[in-house]
């Protein structure tokens, strides 16, 4: 009698292209323990197209997978399931959808809703994904995450193939994420790059990050969209790396914490008056190539507390339409032109404020704008200076200004 196990086989379908082999088993052989998979791999009983395979190998459409038939007790073990979704859960999940196609869903995640579960976290996006299956072949999957108190654009893959494609885009930084934030104070430099390495803060259990020369390289681009005096500013942020809490730590490190971020800004992260104490960090725009061709370029509207703060501080929402990366390769859109012109006019008006204060009470703000300043009239009682001999009427004196080289 042979001791060899019975063998089973499968052909990798297109929807599983690019996923890890252990993920394939989790999807199609739910009762197979991971320890058993690892033992099969070590003993050479797992093969792809006749070659020994490892549980971490990425699989491709059309490959032939050979494996032992799982024991009966493994097949019978039920997969873990979350709590049943209520009508309110379904309404919450579907109400956040701002984009949907055959391969992807984009949510405008609410502030205060965790992306994934954790200690004492019962409601989270991952637990709501069954409500977002719609007519898709499988349960959707998260491919990146946002902090619990950060709102905005969150991408979800509808197929394993799309999940693998999007995950690669995030890992190689080809996906572009743009955030809006309200910060305390105003940076001296209106647009720049923050380059400060980050590491987990000792003693925080990995829950907090800090600037550390021995940490991982971390870069953030920023642009001041508008300022409210010297008390606050509305900024656009673009992470060039993807460290935990990167934007929050970087802004606090340069002395301008995000409003509502007490974790990194302490008491100084809260503004007085009617400004909400919630986090003012929003994933505004997401741009990423699509596995079926083309690209997703989606913007998420800010939540109520963020919009109320923009209004309370007197910010002009039109100014946010011109982004860091919106240096047009071709003709700019009319909206972008209008926003850029308005921003330029605003800067000129601010620059002229000091100039206006120095004018006499008799002068008007628009007296000399775009015109040559009139020569002072001769004082009464003093004769006008005599003309030089030989000077022709209307002749001009030679200019002493240097000519452009």
Q: Is the pLDDT of residue 69 over 70?
A: yes
Structure confidence at residue 8 (pLDDT) = 82
CA 154, 157, 163, 165 dihedral sign is: negative
Residues 32 and 178 in one domain: no
Structure confidence at residue 278 (pLDDT) = 97
Distance CA 323, CA 168 (A): 25
Provide the pLDDT confidence category of residue 35 given band limits of 50, 70 and 90.
Answer: confident
Boundary (domain end) residue, out of 283, 309, 325:
325
Residues 171 and 225 in one domain: yes
3-state DSSP helix/strand/coil % of the chain, to nearest 5 = 25, 25, 50
In a domain, 246, yes or no: yes
In a domain, 336, yes or no: no
Q: Which domain holds residue 163?
A: 92-115+125-200+208-325
Residues 221 and 164 in one domain: yes
Residues 69 and 96 in one domain: no
Residues 192 and 316 in one domain: yes
Q: How many domains does the chain have?
A: 2
The pLDDT of 292-305, averaged and rounded, is 96
pLDDT digits (tens, 9 = 90+) for 161-178: 899 899 889 988 899 999
Write down the mean pLDDT value for the chain.
81
The pLDDT of 99-115, averaged and rounded, is 96
Residues 70 and 103 in one domain: no
Boundary (domain end) residue, out of 290, 305, 325:
325
Residues 157 and 222 in one domain: yes
Q: What residues contact residue 291 under an 8 Å CB cut-off, 6+ apart?
A: 103, 161, 162, 165, 166
Residues 20 and 146 in one domain: no
Catalogue the active-site residues: 147
pLDDT digits (tens, 9 = 90+) for 200-238: 898 876 689 999 999 999 999 999 999 999 999 999 999
Could you tell me the end-to-end alpha-carbon distance of the chain, in angstroms, rounded to an integer?
A: 98
Residues 148 and 104 in one domain: yes
Which is it for strands 47-48 and 64-68: parallel, antiparallel or unpaired? antiparallel
In a domain, 284, yes or no: yes
In a domain, 157, yes or no: yes
Residues 100 and 61 in one domain: no
CATH number of the CATH domain containing 189:
3.30.2350.10
Q: Is the pLDDT of residue 382 over 80?
A: no
Question: 348 or 17: which carries more pLDDT confidence?
Answer: 17
In a domain, 382, yes or no: no
Boundary (domain end) residue, out of 310, 325, 340:
325
CATH number of the CATH domain containing 45:
3.10.290.10
Q: Is the pLDDT of residue 60 over 60?
A: yes
Structure confidence at residue 366 (pLDDT) = 33
Structure confidence at residue 226 (pLDDT) = 96
Residues 192 and 275 in one domain: yes
Q: Running DSSP on this structure, what letter comes out for residue 41?
A: H
Gyration radius of the chain's alpha carbons: 31
Chain centroid offset of residue 328 CA:
20
In a domain, 72, yes or no: yes
Structure confidence at residue 362 (pLDDT) = 45
Residues 169 and 38 in one domain: no
Q: Is the pLDDT of residue 373 over 70?
A: no
Q: What residues contact residue 278 under an 8 Å CB cut-off, 6+ apart?
A: 111, 112, 149, 260, 305
Structure confidence at residue 269 (pLDDT) = 97
pLDDT digits (tens, 9 = 90+) for 115-146: 987 767 788 999 999 999 998 888 999 999 99
The pLDDT of 66-91, averaged and rounded, is 68
In a domain, 351, yes or no: no
In a domain, 298, yes or no: yes
Structure confidence at residue 372 (pLDDT) = 43
The pLDDT of 44-69, averaged and rounded, is 89
């Amino acid at each position: 009698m042979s001791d060899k196990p019975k063998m089973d086989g499968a052909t990798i379908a297109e929807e599983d292209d690019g996923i890890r082999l252990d993920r394939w088993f989790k999807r199609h052989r739910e009762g197979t323990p991971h320890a058993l998979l690892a033992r099969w791999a070590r003993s050479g009983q797992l093969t792809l197209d006749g070659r020994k395979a490892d549980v971490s190998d990425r699989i491709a459409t059309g490959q032939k997978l050979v494996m032992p038939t799982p024991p009966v007790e493994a097949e019978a073990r039920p997969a873990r399931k979350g709590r049943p979704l209520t009508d309110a859960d379904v309404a919450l999940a579907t109400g956040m959808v701002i984009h949907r196609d055959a391969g992807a869903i984009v949510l405008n995640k609410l502030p205060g809703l965790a992306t994934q579960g954790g200690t004492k976290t019962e409601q989270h996006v991952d637990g709501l994904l069954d409500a977002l299956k719609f007519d898709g072949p499988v349960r959707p999957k998260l491919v990146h995450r946002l902090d619990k108190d950060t709102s905005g654009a969150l991408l979800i893959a509808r197929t394993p193939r799309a999940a693998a494609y999007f995950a690669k885009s995030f890992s190689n930084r080809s996906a572009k994420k743009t955030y809006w934030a309200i910060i305390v104070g105003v940076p001296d430099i209106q647009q720049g790059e923050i380059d400060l390495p980050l590491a987990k803060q000792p003693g925080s259990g990995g829950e907090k990050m800090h600037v550390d020369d021995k940490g991982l390289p971390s870069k953030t681009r920023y642009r001041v969209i508008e300022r409210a005096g010297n008390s606050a500013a509305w900024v656009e942020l673009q992470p060039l790396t993807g460290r935990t809490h990167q934007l929050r730590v970087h802004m606090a490190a340069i002395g301008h914490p995000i409003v509502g971020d007490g974790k990194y800004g302490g008491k100084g992260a809260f503004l007085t008056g009617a400004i909400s104490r919630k986090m003012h960090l929003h994933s505004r725009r997401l741009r990423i190539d699509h596995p079926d061709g083309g690209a997703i370029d989606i913007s998420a509207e800010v939540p109520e507390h963020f919009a109320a703060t923009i209004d309370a501080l007197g910010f002009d929402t039109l100014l946010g339409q011109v982004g860091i990366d919106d240096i047009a390769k071709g003709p700019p859109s009319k909206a972008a032109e209008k926003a850029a012109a308005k921003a330029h006019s605003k800067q000129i008006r601010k620059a002229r404020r000091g100039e206006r204060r120095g004018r006499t009470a008799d002068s008007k703000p628009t007296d000399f704008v775009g015109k040559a300043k009139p020569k002072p009239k001769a004082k009464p009682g003093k004769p006008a200076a005599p003309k030089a001999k030989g000077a022709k009427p209307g002749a001009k004196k030679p200019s002493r200004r240097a000519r452009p080289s």
